[in-house]
Structure 1
């Protein structure tokens, strides 16, 4: 088993090292290593995918945060006649994915915490799944990496 990069033969059967900082191949005039990184209009596919994935992550994270805030307000016995608490409650009921009455056992606080907690986790899972699928399908092979938030 080879321990060092220079012990791996390259595709011509010769020994050589691979410089991971340089990437695979030469860069063109646009600074891109691959000619398929740009569409006809000069739009970088990687940056478009990152922006779209960032928007999806932001929206799904916002929905999960609203559900978590509703759980906190409900468990802390907030005054739901207050406009802010009413707004959060209405919004949480709208993004709860129909899970408002999934668990019906125990006190009402436990029911709300479980139902909206599961919905918040599902929103995070949906966001992760969408961003992963978009990055894996849209990006070309050499740039097809798992999407990571920075």
Structure 2
């Protein structure tokens, strides 16, 4: 697939938007991800993603997509790849979240806008704004 010039900027926007969710996803043991992905228990993965996202995004904004992969070998650290969808108002972003022990990354596959502009930079600004609007705003700190 040919990468578009605006893809890198959009991946940074998505990565920043889900940074806290990724921290929550890392609380799940990697063995659970391995089992759920290998056994195709995608409903469990969907529940994990929804639970991780519920503190940060409006319901339905971040969803598990249609699959995932794990790269586990005898040497090196495991890598978990989850297909996810971000659905802020007016847009859908299909991407893969790649997580390992010390780093995470985002690879955007496709961006669908309800009302796209002919200017890709304007569309990128819209995505950033839409993601910001879909976040849950807290007026008081959480008590745990």
TM-score normalized by structure 1?
A: 0.26
Bigger Rg, structure 1 or 2: 1
- Hey, which of these two has a bigger chunk of helix by percent? 1
- Hey, which of these two has a bigger chunk of strand by percent? 2
TM-score normalized by structure 2?
A: 0.26
